[in-house]
Amino acid sequence: MTNPAPPIAPKPRGCFFYGCITCLVVFFIMGIAVFFGVRYAVNSVNATIVEYTDTSAMAMPKVELTADEMKKLNERVDDFNHKLEAGSNAPPLVLTGRDLNALLASRPNSKDLKDRFYVAIEGDQVKGQLSLPLGDLVKIPLVHTEGRFLNGAGSFKAVFTDGSLFVTIRALEVKGKPVPDKYLAGFRQQNIAANFNNTTNASFLDRYESIVVTNGTIIVKAKLK
């Protein structure tokens, strides 16, 4: 009996931005987790959770596009991706925060973010609001996370250069309270997207000339062939 052929690894789908946004969400959560203080005793952690989480989810701003607007947006993104994969020169893809939220809400591979994450682009910064059930993220004996929601906001600086993505935290806010600088000082100097720039993603990232956040938009340029 012959062994079945090994499964073929699925080809990366969707726009690079989904990876960027997912990366921001993951490291936003990590930043908050550090704030909760893994160094503290269980009682201290539970007290911090009660202080900085809520018993209900935070309502996210709604972004609604008409059917025609959504069709045109998908056509722009799909056209850019097709030309990128075909190796042909593609004009820059320009996306607003409104575009990103609509795409995140409509794509199957980001459905878990629907009604839980909202992104805005202000000037050269990416800002996000987040509302996640803590019990789904942290399951540690004696740590009371069930029924608690992590409601927060953050601002990030994102730069793509020389084939690598650099994301730094500018500010974090939880339950309407800013995370103290003493918890963020180290993170502000770190590239929290460093793990995204691994060898697995290297060939994927190498297809882009630049990704720039400016004037309330994200502009993606493919490498010229």
pLDDT of residue 3 exceeding 80, the answer is no
Greater pLDDT, 115 or 153: 153
- Give the range among 5-19, 46-60, 189-203, 210-224 with minimum mean pLDDT: 5-19
Greater pLDDT, 203 or 169: 169
Q: How confident is the model at residue 148 (pLDDT cuts 50, 70, 90)?
A: confident
- Give the range among 36-40, 82-86, 90-94 with minimum mean pLDDT: 36-40
Q: How confident is the model at residue 79 (pLDDT cuts 50, 70, 90)?
A: very high
Mean pLDDT, rounded, of the chain? 76
| Predicted local distance difference test score (pLDDT) of residue 27 | 56
Q: How confident is the model at residue 39 (pLDDT cuts 50, 70, 90)?
A: very low
CB atoms within 10 A of CB 2: 4
pTM of the model: 0.68
| Predicted local distance difference test score (pLDDT) of residue 13 | 46
Rounded Cα distance between 168 and 88, Å, is: 32
pLDDT of residue 212 exceeding 60, the answer is yes
Rounded Cα distance between 214 and 170, Å, is: 16
| Percent with pLDDT over 90 in the chain | 11
Rounded Cα distance between 24 and 172, Å, is: 12
Let me know: does 192 contact 30? Beta carbons within 8 Å: yes
| DSSP state letter for 31 | H
| Predicted local distance difference test score (pLDDT) of residue 47 | 81
| Predicted local distance difference test score (pLDDT) of residue 197 | 72
- By DSSP bridging, strand 208-214 and strand 177-178 are unpaired
Q: Which amino acid, 96?
A: T
Greater pLDDT, 191 or 32: 191
| Predicted local distance difference test score (pLDDT) of residue 96 | 93
| DSSP state letter for 3 | P
pLDDT of residue 38 exceeding 50, the answer is no
